[in-house]
Amino acid sequence: MNQIRQCVLQTSTNRITFHVTCPQGRLNDSKRLVNVIDMNNRKVSNQDDGTGASKLVSRILNSTLKRQGWFTIKSTPFPTTNYLHFFKVGNDTYCNAYKIKSYMTGPIMLGLIATMKTKSQEEIDKYISKCMDSVPEVLACMTNNLKYKYYNRGERETSLLKIDIISSSEVAIQLYEGCWIPMKQTTFRTLYSAGGDRVNKYTFISPEELYFKCTGEHLTDVQIKLMYAYLLQNTSEKLVTQRSLELLNELPKMFPTRINKLIVKNNPQARDSTHVIMMVRGNLLDWSISGYITGNNQVGRQSVNSHMCVSLKNYELHIQDSDGNTMVTLDVEGYSTLKENLNEDTYFALEPKKGCIGIGTIKRLNSAYFCEKSDEIFYFTGSICIDQQNTDVSIGDQFTSRAMAFLNDTASFDRVSTMRSYKRTVLPDRVDINAMFELQPFTLPKE
C-alpha cells in the first residue's frame, strides 16, 4: 500500500513543506524526512554556484527511484492538483512523462518546489520540457542564478544574473531590466566556469564586451548606466544580506513563543545603525544574539554577540554602606525595584537567591537591559564564542544559525564547546521574552 508523508526542504532562506507519495512513504537517505540544503552552498570549491545542493538532492531522489521505482511530490496545503511524478523504466528516468537525465532530478525539484503553489500544471510541464536537453550548468543557474564577475571602477564585483532557456541549444541572460542577451549553451558553460574562478576568455569580461559578443551590437551611454546600476543592485553580497535579513524577521513568526526580535532604543553606541537583540527561549536557559544592522552589505564571521540572559528576579538587592555592610535586603521583582532604590551614589550588590546555580554576585549593571512597559529586566553574562567556518556569512545568517543552536540548548551543550559550561546552570525565574516590546540599556538614575 502506498504511503503519504510530509517532508521539509530547508534552505538558508526558505522552509518549504511538501508531501511525498511512494511505496515506503519516504525519501531514501533523508533522515527524519528533513533535508537541510543550503542554496548558497558556501563550501569552498572552484565552482560555488549551488551545484552542491543540486547534486545532493539528485543523489537522494535517484536513490529513492532505484529502491522504490517511483514517487510523487505535491506542495502543501494537501491535496493539490499540481505535482511532480518521478519514475524509472529500466535504466531510464522520467518526470511527468518527460524522459530526463538522472542529474536533472535535483535541479528540477529545486527549481519548482517553491513555486508549485503558484504555477499551473501546464507551466510545470513546460519547465520540465525546457530542462530535458539542457547542460548541468544551465540547470544549476535556473535555480540559483548565474554568478557573473567583472570590474567596476577598478573594484571587483560579483552579480547574480537571471537566465532562461530559449531552446535546447540556447539560453538568455538578463543584463538589466528588459535586456536579455542570447548565448549558446556550450558557450554558457565557459561563462559559468569564469564565475567559479576558472581562467578563460570570459574571466572578468566587462558587461559591455559580453553584450557585444552575444549580439554584435554596442550599448548606448544610457544603456550602460542602466546596466551598471542594475548589476550593482544585484551583487551577490547584497542579495544574500537582504535574504538573510528577511529570514531574521520570519524567525519570530516561525517560533512565536520562543523567539522575539527587539530593537534597543536610546543606545548611543548604535549611531547610524540599528541595535537588534534577538531573545531565544531555549529548553533549559534563555539566550540572546545582538548586533548592529546597517543598510550596507554585512558579511563576516563574528558580526554578532551571543550571551546567556539572566532575569534579575533570580537576585536579592543588598543596599550597602560605604564599607560594604548590608543595610537593606530586597527581592528584585522587576525594573521598578532597581529604579526606586538605586542611584549613582548607591552602594549595592545583587546576590543570587537560594536555588540558583551557575551565577554569581553582580556589582555593576553595565550589561543590563529593561522593558519599562512589562517591568522586565535582565543582564547578559560573558560573551559566548560561536564561530562560523566561513568568513563571508551574512549577518542575518549569523543571527539565524545561533538562534537554532540556542533553541535546542540541551543538545548544543554537547556539540558547542563554549556552551558546555552552562549545562549545570539552574535558574528558577526565566526571562519572559514575550512580555517585552522594546529594550533600553539600564543606567543608574541620578540622585
What pLDDT does 196 receive? 81
| Residue 139 resides in a domain | no
Task: Identify the pLDDT of residue 93.
Answer: 94
- What pTM value is reported for the model? 0.53
Predicted confidence band of residue 318 (pLDDT cuts 50, 70, 90): very high
Q: Which residues of 363-388 are buried (b: 16+ CB within 10 A; e: fewer)?
A: eebebbbbbeeeebbbbbbeebebeb
Produce one character per residue of 78-95: b if its CB has 16 or more CB atoms within 10 Å, e if not.
eeeebbbebbeeeeebbb
- Kindly state whether residues 224 and 291 are assigned to the same domain: no
Q: Is residue 447 part of a domain?
A: no
The range of the structural domain enclosing residue 160 comes to 145-234
- Binned at pLDDT 50, 70 and 90, residue 39 comes out as very low
Same domain? 222 vs 267: no
Do both 291 and 341 map to the same domain? yes
CB 20 within 8 A of CB 72: yes
- Structural domains of the chain, count: 3
Mean pLDDT throughout 390-396? 68
Residue 172 and residue 200 in one domain: yes
The answer as to whether 118 is a domain residue is yes
The answer to whether residues 290 and 337 belong to one domain is yes
Helix or strand run (H / E) with residue 212: helix 207-215
Q: Looking at the structure, do residues 121 and 45 belong to the same domain, yes or no?
A: yes
Instruction: Name the band, by pLDDT with cuts 50, 70 and 90, for residue 248.
Output: confident
Residues 386 and 262 in one domain: yes
Let me know whether 222 and 337 are in one domain: no
Which tens digit of pLDDT belongs to each residue from 268-298? 777 767 888 899 999 999 999 988 887 555 6
Model pLDDT, residue 13: 46
- Confidence check: pLDDT of 75 > 70: yes
Residues 86 and 172 in one domain: no
Structural domain includes residue 137: no
Mean pLDDT of the chain: 82
33 compared with 412, residue with greater pLDDT: 412
Q: What is the mean pLDDT of residues 196-224?
A: 92
Residue 152 falls inside a structural domain: yes
Residue 93 lies in a domain: yes
For residue 99, count CB atoms less than 10 angstroms from its CB and return exposed for 0-12, middle for 13-18, buried for 19 or more: exposed
Q: 118 or 361: which carries more pLDDT confidence?
A: 361
Please state, in angstroms and as integers, the Cα–Cα distance from residue 318 to each residue in 9, 170, 348, following that order.
53, 77, 6
Cell of 278: 534577538
Tell whether 312 is covered by a domain: yes
- Both 195 and 227 in one domain: the answer is yes
Backbone angles phi, psi at 52, to 5 degrees: -60, -40
Same domain, 411 and 313: yes
> Tens of pLDDT along 170-190?
999 999 888 999 999 999 999
Strand pairing class (3-10; 34-36): parallel
Residue where a domain stops, chosen among 205, 234, 263: 234
Q: Is residue 446 part of a domain?
A: no
Domain boundary at 97, 131, 165, which? 131
In this predicted structure, the answer to whether residue 395 has a pLDDT above a threshold of 70 is yes
